[in-house]
Amino acid sequence: MPSAAAERLIGEGLVVLALVAWWAIARGLPEFILPGPLAVARRLAELFVTPDFLWNLFASTWRVLVSIALALLIGGGLAFLAHDVPWLETVVDQRIKPVLNSFPSIGWAILAAIWFEPGDFSVIFVEVAILIPFCLINVAEGLRNADADLMEMGWSFTRSRARMLRRLRLPLLVPYGLSATRIAYGIAWKIALVAELLGAPSGLGYLMLRAQTAADSTTFLATCFAIVLIFMAGERLVIVPIERRFAQR
Amino acid sequence: MTATDIALGRTALRRGRAARRWVGHLFTLAFLGAWEAASLVAPSYLLPGPAQVALRLWSFITSWRDLGHLGASLFHVGAAIAISFMIGTLLALIPYYVPVLRFAIERRLGPFLNAFSAIGWTLLAIMWFGVTPLTVIFTISAVLVPFALVNMSAGLASIDRELVEMAQSLTRRSARMLVLVIVPSLYPFIFATLRIMFGVAWKVTLTAELFGGNSGLGYMINLARQEFDTETIFAAIILIIAFVHSVDQFVLAPLQASVSRHYAS
């Protein structure tokens, strides 16, 4: 289709134009304010073969993954509690959820910096605390939307709660769980990295802060772009395929 | 089912609801009790007790200097929401009116803005603008633009084609179309977007103020952190939770509900 090709051409053309504009603006500015795109690209390529950077990248990535898993477990658990134990509904929906949902992320980061030693535990604590409300809201939505007729039919076949959970309730929750994962993944990389600015001796947030205090804008921008690349790679290579797999069923 | 059954069912339901409310209050009390107990064991720079925090909260809302910081934060959030909402909506309107730019906006600009981390924007803005309110507003806006873009694009995609066609048969002026048909059909999305943006803005604002602001609650928290004044940190956090939650529940949610009721098809 020619129009699709034209669209694509204009899209890529604008990217090139933006890079050229960046180059033109950066030429007149000192390097610590805005380094040129070539310098940043070179540094980006260098970073990906530096063991120190790769180690920090690995540290951030595994913290993000562990945090998402824990947040899904805790948030999902809270949603199940609110749904299955009527007594606890108010406690979860009107006490725990609003507080976690409105808690400022830097608040967690500072509290963790006061309470814990800098390290993996401190960072994961902050990230999990930031991510829980997103998981809780999505899973609760899934539980509310579970088809009542289907559930009733399920109960007529079995009385076993575990069997019901495995065969019917969890499969019905899969789309909501996936969307929770997707949101948590985005928030984790974009906002929860703040945890690594205050309470971490390693990680990409720590690297960025170090580069910024040293006025090393080239490394700083290269790290920003590295996060963009990793975020997109994770989304394209992991999240989209999983979603497609479950959508086909 | 007889009338008595229905009546019985209703009282049981009502009793259940009241009981649940009591469980909620009990939980709050238990939480405060646990907090008090923990604060007796821990030193006060680690965990001040609820009474101390309440006192600090009171001095907070009676001090003009502290309220000024709250006002500064409010100003940052308000300005950033207004700016990013306008930019995001304009960006969403471009592919609607100039379809050939769809790929550029939706597949190149959108994902890039969406993937750029908030800390990146914060530290970048500090390098560019120094420690000023501009840094804070720029950071929050940069984080919010993709939210506005995604939501408003979804809104534009959901506009009823037949309604637009009918309107086109009544007028040829696209400004008139925009004001009378397109914007009203976007109302539910506008309010949903503003609500999401309000929530996200508060999550980012304090971070931006802490690193790049010279006013606002984040700046205040940073000072308190350096002086190990944990009470002020707790007071500021509680104030924000109360403020964000009440604005969301008592202003934005009813507004959104009434708008959706009017305009949802």
CATH assignment at residue A220? 1.10.3720.10
Q: Does A3 touch chain B (CB under 8 A)?
A: yes
Which amino acid, one-letter code, is at B262? H
Please state the separation of Cα A224 from the chain's center in Å.
15
In this predicted model, what pLDDT tens digit does every residue of A222-240 receive, in sequence order? 999 999 999 999 888 988 8
Contact A105/B20, CB-based, under 8 Å? no
Is residue A5 in a domain?
no
Residues 6+ apart with CB under 8 A from A75: A131, A132, A133, A134, A135, A136, A137, A138, A139, A180
Contacts with B, A 85-144, CB within 8 Å: 86-91, 94-95, 98-99, 101-107, 109-111, 113-115, 130
| Interface pTM, i.e. ipTM | 0.85
CA distance A200 to A67: 15
Contact A193/B127, CB-based, under 8 Å? no
Q: What SS3 state is found at B43? A: coil
Is residue A223 in a domain?
yes
Percent of residues, chain B, with pLDDT higher than 90: 40
Considering only CB atoms, A197 lies closest to which of B116, B119, B249, namely B119
For A91-142, give the DSSP string.
Answer: IIIIIIHHHHHHS-HHHHHHHHHHHS-SSHHHHHHHHHHHHHHHHHHHHHHH
Fold designation for B53-263: MetI-like fold (1.10.3720)
Backbone angles phi, psi at B42, to 5 degrees: -85, 150
In this predicted model, what pLDDT tens digit does every residue of B35-80 receive, in sequence order? 999 999 888 888 999 999 999 999 998 999 999 999 999 999 999 9
The DSSP symbol for A88 reads G
Is residue A37 in a domain?
no
The tally of domains found in chain A comes to 1
Is residue A106 in a domain?
yes
Residue whose C-alpha is closest to residue B150's, from B115, B193, B102: B193
Query: What are the extents of the domains in chain B?
Result: 53-263
Q: What confidence score (pLDDT) does residue B19 get? A: 79
In this predicted model, what pLDDT tens digit does every residue of B120-166 receive, in sequence order? 899 889 888 988 999 999 999 999 999 999 889 888 888 888 888 88
Considering only CB atoms, B123 lies closest to which of A106, A208, A227, namely A208
Is residue A40 in a domain?
no
- Domain hosting A235: range is 48-248
Contacts with A, B 157-186, CB within 8 Å: none
Most B CBs within 10 A among A190, A204, A209, A231, hence the mutation to make, goes to: A190
